[in-house]
Structure 1
Amino acid sequence: MNTIQTIDALNQQIKLLEGQQDREWCEIKDEIGDIKEILKPTNLIRNAVGELNEAIGLKSELAQSAINIGIGYLAKKIVIGKTDSAFKNILGSILQVAVTTLVTKPAEHETLTKKSHEELYEE
């Protein structure tokens, strides 16, 4: 970096550094937004199911649907447990359908590709 000799040069350098700081701050905000999107529970579940399907090598939609339904059933059992209450059973069934639907439908925000997701974890 050059030695600054005049006040004008100093002011110019300050403006350049402030612009750089603003750009870097915007990049940080974007990264935080990406991380928040990745860490949403539905995206975590969806990614886990996708990785499970890839690991097992399940290509058929029938097998993937069975896993998605199983995850919904597991969520119901974890949250509601075993109960004799009709209300809790209905509530559990609604929860099961909701979780299955969330896991099955495609991601709402396609801004995060699989590549950007992998790059985030590599850093």
Structure 2
Amino acid sequence: MQNIKTIEDLKIAIQILELKQSLNVQLMKNQLHITYESLKPANLLKNTINEITSSPLLIDNILGVTLGLASGYFTKKVVVNGSNNVFRNLIGTVLQFGVTNLIARNPNTIKTFGQSIFEKIFHKK
């Protein structure tokens, strides 16, 4: 800021400071409105869903775990098949756990294997 020597210079300096202040107040109001909108529960939920759906790594992980759980469940259903045999139920539970972990930890390998089987079955000759 320059040196103020006259009353006219003082009035100009005051006007400049008042203009800066009103601009800063308006900027703060705008920022407050943006912050208020972003903290609404609906907007928080919408932003979270957008982040989840835009993350390919997270989607791959969710799909891998889901595929693992479903495969484990169906493996147990096939092995146990409504039996009341304790040994068969135990084997079914162990197989369910093993298949679930195997598929959930190796989704890319399972995906590649599935794609190769799909291509062999539906390969155009």
TM-score (norm 1): 0.44
Which structure shows the higher helix fraction? 2
- Which structure would you say has the larger RCO, counting Cα contacts within 8 Å and 6 or more residues apart? 1
